[in-house]
Amino acid sequence: MTTAPSRAEILHDIIAKLSEQTGVSFSGAINEETRFFADLGLASIDAVVLTETLQKHYGRTLPFHELIAEVGRRTERDLAIGELVEFLAAHL
């Protein structure tokens, strides 16, 4: 039986996948307060691809649809990396 990854491990995975996806080294530049759009200059399509990649990495289907739709309903459309960590910690 495998144990669920810690928040630190999840953050590490997110940074690694984001670096692979964009070709930009984010090591040390991202923490849980970092905002996906405002701070990293990424777009919603980058978030869709990242969540799909994370799903594959963890080997299970996760309700990312709900998370991204929730972002879509926000007036200030953005996503803190910590929210993504929280989401994964709750579902893994």
Partner 1 sequence: MPKLVANGIDFHYQQSGAGPDVVLIHGVTGDLSIWFLSEAMGILGRSFRVTAFDLRGHGYSGLPKSGYTSFDQAGDCLAIMDALDIEHAMLLGHSFGAVIATHAAVLFPARVDAIVLSDPCFPALRHLEDVSRWGHWQNFRQEAALAGVTLSDEHWYDLGRFFDQVLHLDGERLLRFRQAVGLPGFHRLLRLAETTCGDDAKVPAGLTEDLIASVTQPALGIFGEHSPFLATSDYLATHLPNCIARTVAGAKHRAPEENAAEFVRIVNDFLVANSSAVPMVKAAR
Q: Which residues bind to partner 1, rule: CB under 8 A?
A: 21, 37, 41-49, 52-53, 65-66, 68-69, 71-73, 77
* Nearest distance, CB of residue 68 and partner 1, angstroms: 4
Three-state SS string over 20-52 comes to: HHHCCCCCCCCCCCCECCCCCCCCHHHHHHHHH
* Nearest distance, CB of residue 42 and partner 1, angstroms: 6
* Nearest distance, CB of residue 18 and partner 1, angstroms: 13
Which C-beta is closer to partner 1: that of 42 or that of 88? 42
Residues whose CB is less than 8 angstroms from the CB of residue 19 and which lie 6 or more positions away in sequence, other chains included: 25, 26, 27
Which C-beta is closer to partner 1: that of 7 or that of 77? 77
Residues whose CB is less than 8 angstroms from the CB of residue 57 and which lie 6 or more positions away in sequence, other chains included: 13, 17
Which C-beta is closer to partner 1: that of 46 or that of 83? 46
Instruction: List the structure tokens of 10.
Output: 């999840």
